[in-house]
Amino acid sequence: METFRYDNRVVRNFAWATLIWGLVGMSAGLLAAVQLFFPDANLDFQYITFGRLRPLHTNAVIFAFIGNGMFMGIYYSLPRLCKAPMFSRLLSQINFWGWNAIIVAAAVTLPLGFTTSKEYAELEWPIDIAITLVWVAFTINLFGTIIKRREKHLYVAIWFYIATALTVALLHIVNSMEVPAGWFKSYSLYAGVQDALVQWWYGHNAVAFFLTTPYLGLMYYFLPKAAGRPVFSYRLSIIHFWALIFIYIWAGPHHLLYTALPDWAQSLGMVFSVMLIAPSWGGMLNGLLTLRGAWDKVRQEPMLKFMVVAVTAYGMATLEGPTLAIKSVNSLSHYTDWTIAHVHTGALGWNGFLTFSMLYWLIPKLYRTSLYSVKLANYHFWIALTGMMFYVVPMYWGGITQGLMWKQFTPDGFLQYPNFLETVLQIIPLYRIRAIGGSLYLLGAFIGAFNLCRTAHAGSFEPESEAQAPARVKHSGVDGKGHRWLEARGLLLAGLALVAVAIGGLVEIIPTFLIKENVPTISSVKPYTPLELLGRDLYIREGCVGCHSQMIRPLRSETERYGEYSKAGEFVYDHPFLWGSKRTGPDLHRIGGKYPDAWHYNHMENPRSTSPGSIMPRYPWLLTQKLETNCLPARIKALRTVGVPYPENFELTAGKDLVKQAKGIVQNLESGMVKAQPDTEIIALIAYLQRLGTDIKLSKPVTASVDGVPSTVVVNP
């Protein structure tokens, strides 16, 4: 028998960080929700406009709240499942402090507008490097512990932890390939369609391998532990684990259905999403059926109540996901609040409830006491559940309503609701109800935090727990056969998991990069001018992509509204792509030339002056802030590095070029009775907006489509 000690300090640290960041992230979400029916809620303070707040909210909830929750659960369960303390206390500390320093950096840089604009990967390159290093520390710690374990076989929870560690590293590194153009500015190595594919391979699988697999592992530990029941089926866990990690990785393109992504990749994304239903439900079944014979406990134990809702929400979200991935459903749901409802079923239900379930179980254990108040925990449960319903249901309603309005035609073949704003005004009452739902959920979290603080206060913290186990006898005749044999070989299992997750990505990404037919060239598409380039960077800084897509799908309801549908070849110089995923406002891909410059100026100063009832924030600072042009040479050079064909020494004349174009815009503004300074940011933004989507209609007759967007365009094959 060997005696050893588990470190509880790092678990405690992660637990409190989880709680604090949870409250911060949810509050940011609530503020963002309020801004959608009360735009002045940003107080005209540029650092908390919706476009900057949204990534702050998503990053805080995903990486800070759920990320710390994941580490908390892993650092508690892994050593106990391995019968060995964590491999290195130093690495544990690097993991904790490094991760939380990254979150603080995110909380500072995102409001400042330092963003790559790629969803859930917004953080700029120095932070990306830090994430990589901290993740490597975590991975070494994980595998070190596995190698030094005393338990012969690896429990299913650990398989999921292994898949998480390896896949997140792979996703993060590939998606974050970018060329710096200054300390907090970089350009994605990939452009347009390829950038979109890599981003959504990442984005989808961040959901899979950051929000799903680690939490499934945690479910496999905490649920049977708290219920005191054996796991329903060992066989089911094997099948659903391998099926899940293999199939999940292929499904990324379902975020790009009906876009300029090649059809074959879209179809792969769709069918692999459908095939995900059963593997996902395998996890739900194994969770819920483990509770057979323990439902009386669920009634008494708040921790299990939270767990049951979490697992049920997981089952609903993983049936809904594949449904949304069916092309015909997606043509209605994409860009609407239906997606927002879907992700919140996952985030509030699955991750949120499971995190609180763990906290309610762990904090009393760590502090050697019992929960301060079961009654308060029950209040938390019911308030959070009610809040979730008040969040999700209005968003379904709003999403479907707006989606149907966008698609509605009159019998004469005209759009029934050609004015986008009309469809927004229709769902504003639902935005209000959603904010009530969010407030309830947040209230529940505060009650939970209070309860847990009182619990900790009443108990006494146990920094280390002692345990005993015999040393592991390496590879002997009792390893077992088949999968059991594999479970005794951690590194082999990890290697096979890596192969399973690599295949889907490789099959989808490599042909899209190598086969030219996948991105047909359009000869009239040219790189952005210096002024447009800086305007585009402002568009990125302000987070416009959070509410405006730049991807018109080949659907009549879209081409009638916005103009010719977007072609892959139009985005070859877009580092990064800015297709967006949500239309809180209209698509902007063919905004160029649609309105006079003066309209944009007035609209940015106060959107409600040109579009009464609009919920877009005001951007008065763009009218006064000077455009920073010293960065121009570095940016042009960085873009050249990633493949934009700016001529040699172009950066030397770029400044002159910029001034000339700015003067032209100032003159246009004058004819629209607006006096503007040529060196302000608004000028660059207008230059960019007026360029958008215009390249392919050069020298073609101009015919208006809805909102005046020219639509007769011939594209070079």
Site for another protein in 152-211 (CB under 8 A): 153, 155
Per CB under 8 A, which region of 134-142, 533-541, 631-639, 666-674 contacts another protein?
Answer: 666-674
State the minimum distance, in angstroms, from the CB of residue 70 to another protein.
Answer: 18
Contacting range for another protein; rule: CB under 8 A; set: 136-144, 516-524, 590-598, 675-683: 590-598
- Is the Cβ–Cβ distance between 705 and 562 less than 8 Å? yes
Which helix (DSSP H) or strand (DSSP E) does residue 575 occupy?
A: none
Query: Which DSSP helix (H) or strand (E) runs through 472?
Result: none
Residue 233 CB, shortest distance to another protein, in Å, is 4
Question: Residue 658 and residue 713: Cα distance in Å, rounded?
Answer: 29
Contact pick of 229, 454, 483, 489 for another protein (by CB under 8 A): 229
- Alpha-carbon distance of 239 to 231, in angstroms, equals 14
Q: How far apart are alpha carbons 588 and 552 in whole angstroms?
A: 9
Minimum CB distance to another protein smaller for 471 or for 673: 673
Contact 174, 182 (CB under 8 A): no
- Measured distance CA(51)–CA(37) in Å, rounded: 15
CB of residue 153 to another protein, shortest distance in Å: 6
> Applying CB under 8 A, which part among 103-111, 495-503, 594-602, 618-626 lies near another protein?
594-602
Please name the residues in contact with 417: beta carbons below 8 A apart, sequence gap of 6 or more: 405, 406, 408, 423
Q: Which of 470, 612, 647, 717 binds another protein (CB under 8 A)?
A: 612
Element (H, E) at 464: strand 464-469
Between the alpha carbon of residue 51 and those of residues 102, 426, 434, 517, 538, the distances in Å are 21, 22, 19, 35, 12
CB 196 within 8 A of CB 213: no
Residue found by looking up tokens 């986008």 in the block: 420
Contact (Cβ atoms closer than 8 angstroms) between residue 493 and residue 486: yes
Shortest spacing between CB 338 and another protein, in angstroms: 20
What's the CA gap between 406 and 395, in Å, rounded?
Answer: 16
Give the torsion sign (CA, 216, 217, 218, 223).
Answer: positive
Assess 361 for contact with another protein (CB under 8 A).
no
Single-letter amino acid code for the residue at 400? I
Whole-number minimum distance, CB 614 to another protein, in Å? 12
Distance CA 173, CA 169 (A): 6
Looking at 93, 130, 148, 151, which residue binds another protein (CB under 8 A)?
Answer: 151
Q: Whole-angstrom Cα distance, residue 516 to residue 503?
A: 22
Q: Is the peptide bond before 470 cis (omega within 30 degrees of 0)?
A: no
Q: Which CB atom, from 139 or from 259, has the smaller least distance to another protein? A: 259
Q: Is 411 in the site for another protein (CB under 8 A)?
A: yes
Q: Check residue 688 for interaction with another protein (CB under 8 A).
A: no
Backbone angles phi, psi at 577, to 5 degrees: -70, 150
With contacts defined by CB under 8 A, name the span among 120-128, 132-140, 404-412, 525-533 that binds another protein: 404-412
Amino acid (one-letter) located at 359: L
Query: Out of 282, 283, 346, 399, which residue is the one contacting another protein (CB under 8 A)?
Result: 282
- Of 144, 180, 596, 633, the one binding another protein (CB under 8 A) is 596
Q: Segment contacting another protein (CB under 8 A): 8-16, 358-366, 538-546, 671-679? A: 671-679
CB count within 10 Å of CB 688 equals 24
Interface mask toward another protein for 81-120; x: CB under 8 A: x-x-------------------------------------
- The minimum distance between CB 151 and another protein, in angstroms, equals 6
The smaller minimum CB distance to another protein, of residues 410 and 716, is found at 410
408 binds another protein (CB under 8 A): no
Question: For 372, which DSSP code?
Answer: S
Q: Single out the segment in contact with another protein by CB under 8 A; choices: 117-125, 187-195, 284-292, 687-695.
A: 284-292
User: Cα–Cα distances in Å, from 58 out to 14, 107, 656, 707?
Assistant: 19, 11, 40, 33
Judged by CB under 8 A, which of 136, 243, 404, 428 binds another protein?
243
Count of residues touching another protein (by CB under 8 A): 76
**96 and 164 in contact (C-beta within 8 Å)?**
no
Sites for another protein among residues 28-87 (CB under 8 A): 77, 80-81, 83
Q: How far is the CB of 549 from another protein (least distance, A)?
A: 17
At 100, list the tokens. Answer: 């939380």
Which span sits near another protein by CB under 8 A: 227-235, 537-545, 642-650, 686-694?
A: 227-235
Which regions of 40-188 does DSSP assign to beta strands (E)?
178-180, 186-188
Contact between 676 and another protein (CB under 8 A)?
A: no
Closer to another protein at the Cβ: 326 or 659? 326
Q: Which two tokens stand for residue 281?
A: 């439900």
Residues across the chain: 717
Give the one residue of 3, 413, 466, 482 binding another protein; rule: CB under 8 A.
Answer: 413
Neighbours of 389 (CB within 10 A): 14
Coil, strand or helix: which one is 613?
Answer: coil
673 binds another protein (CB under 8 A): yes
- Measured from the CB atom, is 526 or 700 closer to another protein? 700
Q: Confirm or reject binding of residue 703 to another protein (CB under 8 A).
A: yes
Residue 225 binds to another protein (criterion: CB under 8 A): yes
Nearer to another protein, 596 or 620 (CB): 596
Phi, psi of 4 (to 5 degrees): -150, 175
Stretch in the footprint of another protein (CB under 8 A) among 94-102, 277-285, 371-379, 621-629: 277-285
470 binds another protein (CB under 8 A): no
- Report the residue number, 115 or 237, with the smaller CB distance to another protein: 237
* Window contacting another protein (CB under 8 A); options: 140-148, 149-157, 629-637, 684-692: 149-157
Report if residue 316 touches another protein, rule: CB under 8 A. no
Binds another protein (CB under 8 A): choice among 595, 601, 650, 688: 595
In the complex, the smallest distance separating the C-beta of residue 423 from another protein, rounded to whole angstroms, is 13
